[in-house]
Amino acid sequence: MTEQVRLGIIGFGAQGGFYGSLVADGRVPNITVAAVCDIDEAKREAVAKVLPEAKFYDNHVAMLESGDVDAVVICVPHYLHPEMAIDAMERDLHVLVDKPAGVYTAQVEKMNEFAKSKPELTFAIMFNQRNNPLYQYVRELVASGELGALRRSNWIITTWWRPQGYYEQSEWRATWGGEGGGVLVNQAPHQLDLWQWICGVPKSVYAKASFGFRRNIAVEDEVTALVDYGEGATGTFVTATHDLVGTDRFEILLDGGKIVVDNSKTVTVTKLDKPERELSDQMTMEDVKQLFMGKLDPSTLYTQETKEFESPWGEQHAGVLVNFAANILDGTELIAPGADGINGVRLANAIHLSSWTGEEVPLEGTSERYLEELNKRIREEGKFPEREA
């Protein structure tokens, strides 16, 4: 490949280091890492080992203005994502922001509005699960209408077990002022994105979250949310960080069938011979009796198929990086446009707000109220400054 994007990595922690290693290993052929920025001077040595040709900066603005990079990937604490993205776009650099897009809707809206003023720049988000063939297949199946309209979705995703020591690694982690939340902003943003990417953006949410339930933290480590899509369709989302065994099961019920995803590895698709209401109307009580007794051949009602998917670790992240660079180089359509990041942030905010207030919360029009409630909790912590719209 003759054309490459000169990438700058802002933040060389776990994620920034991982992205750097993907490039160094040749898994992102249309990118070269030209520079790395981290405020920790000790990271200079680590960068030199993995990316010996990359320049090291301890100030992100200096790197952005150096002329060394065409684009940046932002891998810093969540509150800084929008701010640094705007800093980069102001200097006409392409931006890939890590998940989540931000912590609260108002700051993400500001980032998205600025990105609109720079249409010539590529703006993407690291929703690597959108690059998973399994979820691409599920999305295409739902969008095709082959199984009819959505009636219900349920996702139990509790494979995020974290011990107490995990939260004690950094002073900012699992705080309202430093991280902005718990499992919803740290572990589950990918599922919050996929859920809406596949099933659509809900209209409202009613949620129960527990804060410091099984861990000594201020933020949520257990969440159960009920969303309303309108027209009678609903969805539930359950997540936690204290389930040692953990479950990952995603069910989508539609008029003409059902999709069940287990452990993000297998998809079982049930296709009804006719829409469920038609089957109901034509069944006699004798048919029902035979069905309940297990004597009715299910193939007279539906067909069922299970598909298995394999996705090697790192392949999805590398694919998003390749796609990001391809969009810059030749206009290839983005897998995860940066503007989409607001959906997961808005839903996480609504879940928090519903749990704090005990009310059903619309996803639109509550950003000011959410920020007020968030700042109230930041003040109570007394460790970090309040946030501005």
What is the rounded distance in angstroms from the CA atom of residue 114 to the CA atom of residue 109?
Answer: 9
**Residue 118 belongs to a domain:** yes
Residue 361 tokens read as: 């919360």
pLDDT digits (tens, 9 = 90+) for 279-303: 999 999 998 899 899 898 888 999 9
Q: What are phi and psi of 196, to 5 degrees?
A: -80, -35
Nearest to 240 by CA among 178, 323, 161: 161
Residues 164 and 268 in one domain: yes
Residues 292 and 171 in one domain: yes
What is the rounded distance in angstroms from the CA atom of residue 382 to the CA atom of residue 181?
Answer: 15
Residues 162 and 299 in one domain: yes
**Residue 389 belongs to a domain:** no
Residues 269 and 325 in one domain: no
Note the maximum CA span of the chain: 78
Residues 327 and 271 in one domain: no
**Residue 204 belongs to a domain:** yes
What is the rounded distance in angstroms from the CA atom of residue 348 to the CA atom of residue 283?
Answer: 43
Residues 240 and 373 in one domain: yes
Q: What are phi and psi of 338, to 5 degrees?
A: -60, -35
Residues 224 and 279 in one domain: yes
**Residue 362 belongs to a domain:** yes
Residues 155 and 260 in one domain: yes
Q: Are strands 150-157 and 302-308 parallel, antiparallel or unpaired?
A: unpaired
**Residue 65 belongs to a domain:** yes
**Residue 35 belongs to a domain:** yes
**Residue 180 belongs to a domain:** yes
Beta-carbon contacts of residue 364 (< 8 Å; ≥ 6 apart):
none
**What's the Cα-to-Cα distance from 85 to each of 75, 88, 319, rounded to whole Å?**
11, 5, 21
Residues 91 and 220 in one domain: no
Residues 110 and 29 in one domain: yes
What is the rounded distance in angstroms from the CA atom of residue 185 to the CA atom of residue 174?
Answer: 10
Residues 143 and 282 in one domain: yes
| Domains: count for the chain | 2
The whole domain housing 208 covers 130-310+344-381
**Residue 386 belongs to a domain:** no
Residues 178 and 29 in one domain: no
Give the chain's residues under pLDDT 70.
Answer: 1-2, 313
Supply the CATH number for residue 177's domain: 3.30.360.10
Supply the CATH number for residue 323's domain: 3.40.50.720
